[in-house]
Structure 1
Amino acid sequence: MKKIRVMLLLTMLTVIGGCNDTVSTKADKDNQRVKKVVVGTGTQFPNICFIDKNGKLTGYDVEVVRAIDKLLPEYEFEFKTMEFSNLLLSLETKKIDMIAHNMAVNEERKKKFLFNDETYNYSPLYITVNKHTNDIASIHDLDGKKVIVGATSNAAVFLEKYNKQNGKKIEIIYAGQGADDANTQLKTGRADATLATPFAVDFNNKAIDAQQKVVGDIIINSKVYFLFNKEETDLQAKTDQAIRKLKADGTLKKLSKQWLGDDYSVEN
């Protein structure tokens, strides 16, 4: 009888131990299925990715990524902020897995990186000048003028190509920080123009009295995408699925109106 009791006890311990192993293994597998995605973004792009008055990282691109995160439980998205000029190098060296910073397609980027297929924003760039400037109304009026843009930005790529094809008549200068940023240089007259979106101009005028205005027609109406490392095809596909859902349920439209003042999730 005593031998039977011992046998039953050993059997029960084995079963309990087996159950614990099963639970532990399941938990480990669940943890393994959640993949961290480090998203590179900035803090200086009004209404796109910036630090608000409460010190919170927010803006349209940031909130779209957060909405995507909710739809993709297999991924955990984590933001890493940096200067715009460092984003592409950080992606290339795999310090980040993805860029969310109003990125448009160009050939140089396509050679090295992977764009998703589903655009989540249209970013119309206009010539932007000091509100007191009256002699600039089109790109042809930029001949002999200083135009400030962010290095490696889509505006910079466009102007560099335009300059090359049109006798290099525009003096392109690249924005820095503090007194060398585009807002300060436009306001003080050190630069004559930049390329910017209406929502960025509105934000700058309200937030820092930038004294800017847009003039003329749209120079570039860029489709905006996320940017990934070449091997991140699964993440790219899942991101596209999430964007399509966010379009269908009206989330993108709502976020665009909230942060950009209009529905830029569709082409205007």
Structure 2
Amino acid sequence: MKKLFTTFLLLSLLILVTSCNSSPSSSNKGVHKIIVGTGTQFPNICFIDDNGRLTGYDIEVVRAIDKLLPDYEFEFKTMEFSNLLLSLETNKIDMIAHNMAINEERKKKFLFNQETYNYSPLYVTVDKNRNDIQSLKDLEGKKVIVGATSNAAVYLNKYNQKHNDKLTIIYAGQGADDATTQLKTGRADATLATPFAVDFSNQALSFQQKVVGDIVINSKVYFMFNKSDQQLAKEVDKAIAKLKKDGTLTKLSEKWLGEDYTVEEQ
């Protein structure tokens, strides 16, 4: 009798464990928190608004993706742009949302998703009162300021390799060393910027800039991940495809960037 009772008890426990393991709630391993590295200094892309809230096109796209992926929770971590790649490499963040374009150096270390969510046309940008610069060639012998690890910096360094270092490239910092201040004081002759960034700056500051000439680089923009996060990148791609189809991306681009930059400008 005792042996029969023991057998019955073991069978009951086995059934209980099996039923628990097969239930939807327990098979769900829980929500995965994704730390998204971004910045606060990129006008209309990722910045702090007048109410102290982190917002901008990239931020709101991630928030829209978050709503479509219930198995993930996206949390922002802000930092200097120059720290983003190292933070991703050392697993302090899981993803970068900062108008990132593909280049060979980045591809060696990191993973990009497949669906572009933006195009970022960069133009030569100068003091609004300057008329002697209309193209990249006009900058030969002059100073161009860009972010140290930006795609613009990669492009200009390649330009210098082909043209005997005719450009003097300097790198932007914060405060008195940022691109706008350097242009205003004349310590730099030009930078590379998007029309929407220039428009935002012109609305906020008395110092006025303008874009000139043709597009220098029209980069496709993606999110960045560690190479081990293939599944996350695929899920983000599915979400972006839905946001394109239902018009959300276009609406966000028109709101934050002034026009639809989700399609390639010719």
* CA deviation profile, 1:117-175 (whole Å, cap 9, x unmatched): 11000000000000111110011100111100001101101001101111101100000
Distance 1:129 1:118, change over 3 A: same
Displacement of 1:209: 2.5
Displacement of 1:26: 6.2
Displacement of 1:232: 0.4
1:220 lines up with 2:217 in the alignment: yes
**Following superposition, which runs of at least 4 residues in structure 1 exceed 2 angstroms of deviation?**
25-30
Matching residue within 197, 200, 204 for 1:203:
200
User: What SS does structure 2 have at the residue aligned with 1:158?
Assistant: helix
The answer for the alignment partner of 1:8 in structure 2 is none
Displacement of 1:35: 0.6
CA distance in 2, matches of 1:190, 1:253: 38
User: What SS does structure 2 have at the residue aligned with 1:210?
Assistant: coil
Displacement of 1:27: 5.0
The answer for the alignment partner of 1:189 in structure 2 is 186
Matching residue within 79, 83, 87 for 1:86:
83
1:165 lines up with 2:162 in the alignment: yes
1:145 lines up with 2:142 in the alignment: yes
Unaligned runs of 5+ in 1: 1-10
The answer for the alignment partner of 1:76 in structure 2 is 73
**Identity over aligned pairs, percent:** 73
Matching residue within 57, 62, 74 for 1:65:
62
2:20–2:26 CA contact under 8 A, matched in 1: no
The answer for the alignment partner of 1:114 in structure 2 is 111
AA aligned to 2:34 is: V
Matches within 5 A, 1:100-111: 100-111=97-108
State TM-score, norm by structure 1. 0.90
* CA deviation profile, 1:176-229 (whole Å, cap 9, x unmatched): 110100011111111100000000000001012331000000000000000000
The answer for the alignment partner of 1:51 in structure 2 is 48
RMSD of aligned residue pairs (Cα, Å): 2.1
User: What SS does structure 1 have at the residue aligned with 2:85?
Assistant: helix
Matching residue within 249, 253, 260 for 2:250:
253
CA distance in 1, matches of 2:145, 2:118: 23
1:40 lines up with 2:48 in the alignment: no
User: What SS does structure 2 have at the residue aligned with 1:53?
Assistant: coil
Matches within 5 A, 1:116-131: 116-131=113-128
State TM-score, norm by structure 2. 0.91
The answer for the alignment partner of 2:5 in structure 1 is none
Displacement of 1:33: 2.8
